[in-house]
Amino acid sequence: MRIGVIGYGARIEMVVEQLLNLHMGVELTAITDINIDKVRRQLADKGRNFAGIPIYADADEMLDKEKLDGVMIGTRCSLHTFMAKKVFRRNLPLFLEKPVATTMEDLQSLKAAGAASSSEVVVSFPLRNTPLVKLVKEIIDSGKLGRIEHVQAVNNVPYGSIYFHDWYRNEKETGGMFLQKATHDFDYINYLIGLKPVSVCAVKSKQIFKGDKPNGLYCKDCEEYHTCPESPFVLKNFKSEQSHGEMCSFAEDTGNEDSGSAIVIYESGMHVAYSQNFFVRKGAAKRGARLIGYEGTVEFDWGTDEVHVYMHSTPRVETYKVDSSQLSHSGGDIALAINFLKVMQGKERSNTPLDAGLLSALICLKAKESAETHTFKDIAW
């Protein structure tokens, strides 16, 4: 299977490695990227025979010249829709990074372009593919909990400074933090409960990563470099933490909210309460959910790799331990890679199709609009 990549960023580089490590006939054939020299250095560091891979500056040129079995898009977020539509016109299998779009206009055009194309799309949603969520899905589908009538979900991100220290701080690129993180969570929730979301209300706050430092300030140029709690110097030497960028996160041009919450109402009348935070650290990290039925409750957390089932009518608690801590995205990435390979071979349909990506992005965009207008928003096209 001959693969072309558009935007050889860190995330898509990781998934490409997953594909190549399968040793199932996958070949990285060509790359399009605006930073050709950087990509060549990345390839040289891989220790693979990548010397002859052509690197294009223009995606159309690569798509026209190369004989490809599939395309993977890993550009910055604001270009996902633009590049996906190029692939749709060639009707090639597509691996598309999330979020699938960052504006409502892009989302609408992506939906139309996807409907007019025969491309099978694998959206990069690893969480629903993890062994942990598969186990929870099995428990819910068994019926032992009764119908799920309430969900409480949380994502407390211990590496959240990445969204304020680097290019991610640009809201025009990210579309905001619902699209950056909640898109994953809304997708796995939709997958688990199997219901249609109909409306959303949301709030967002920026309480920590704000300030009056000058625009474009880098940590190394700041007089507080040796004392600021977010400087690379302090993080490395006093907090034993990795720095996720070099730009001041207390500058006037630092975008993105640093916490947000949403209530999503589904067609049955049940609702999901979701909250995310980007300034927790270390042991305060948590990502998972409680799904509650009349007969029982299931609770899981990727941080502990555990699932707990609490039965409501009997004094019984079931605990399951899943060992996925050493797997990329808790085992979700390898599942995505295998699915995309089999999609290219014509052996499988996508487990995370375009419709899932569109719906998740739609919820996120409506949540963002709700937070900015202080109103409920219908989740509708």
pLDDT of residue 366: 98
Among 157, 10, 165, 176, which Cα is nearest to 101's? 176
Burial class (CB in 10 A: 0-12, 13-18, 19+), 196: exposed
Indicate the pLDDT class of residue 177, thresholds 50, 70 and 90: very high
Q: Give the right CATH number for 128-160+172-205+257-324 from 3.40.50.880, 3.30.360.10, 3.40.50.1390, 3.60.120.10.
A: 3.30.360.10
**Residues facing residue 204 across a β-bridge:** 260
Token pair 């899943």 in the structure block, residue:
322
End-to-end Cα spacing for the chain: 36
Q: Which pLDDT band holds residue 42 (cuts at 50, 70, 90)?
A: confident
Residue 114 predicted with pLDDT over 80:
yes
What lies within 8 Å, CB to CB, of 84 at 6+ separation is 73, 94, 96, 100, 110, 113, 114, 121
**pLDDT of res. 120:** 98
Q: How confident is the model at residue 62 (pLDDT cuts 50, 70, 90)?
A: very high
Question: What ranges do the domains of the chain cover?
Answer: 2-127+335-359, 128-160+172-205+257-324, 210-254
pLDDT at 45 > cutoff 90: no
Percentage helix, strand, coil for the chain under 3-state DSSP, each rounded to 5: 40, 25, 40
Provide, rounded to the nearest whole percent, the portion of the chain with pLDDT above 70.
100
**pLDDT at 52 (0 to 100):** 85
Structure tokens at 287: 């990502």
Backbone angles phi, psi at 28, to 5 degrees: -75, 110
Q: What pLDDT is stored for residue 51 in this prediction?
A: 79
Is residue 49 pLDDT above 80, yes or no?
no
Q: What integer best gives the mean pLDDT of the chain?
A: 96
What's phi and psi for 147, nearest 5 deg?
A: -70, 135
What pLDDT is stored for residue 44 in this prediction? 86
- pLDDT tens column, 271-324: 999 999 999 999 999 999 999 999 999 999 999 999 999 999 999 999 999 998
Distance of alpha carbon 296 from alpha carbon 190, whole angstroms: 19
Q: What is the pLDDT of residue 214?
A: 96
**pLDDT reported for residue 145:** 98
Tell me, yes or no, if the two domains 2-127+335-359 and 128-160+172-205+257-324 fold the same way.
no
The pLDDT value recorded for residue 48 is 76
Are 161 and 244 contacting, i.e. CB atoms less than 8 angstroms apart?
yes
Bridge partner list, 298: 291, 309
Whole-number pLDDT of residue 300: 98
d(CA 69, CA 59): 15
The domain 2-127+335-359: what is its CATH number?
3.40.50.720
Distance CA 373, CA 262 (A): 13
**Which pLDDT score, from 0 to 100, does residue 160 have?**
95
Q: How far is Cα 363 from Cα 182, in angstroms, rounded to an integer?
A: 9
Confidence of residue 344 (pLDDT cuts 50, 70, 90): very high
Mean pLDDT to the nearest integer, 53-79: 97
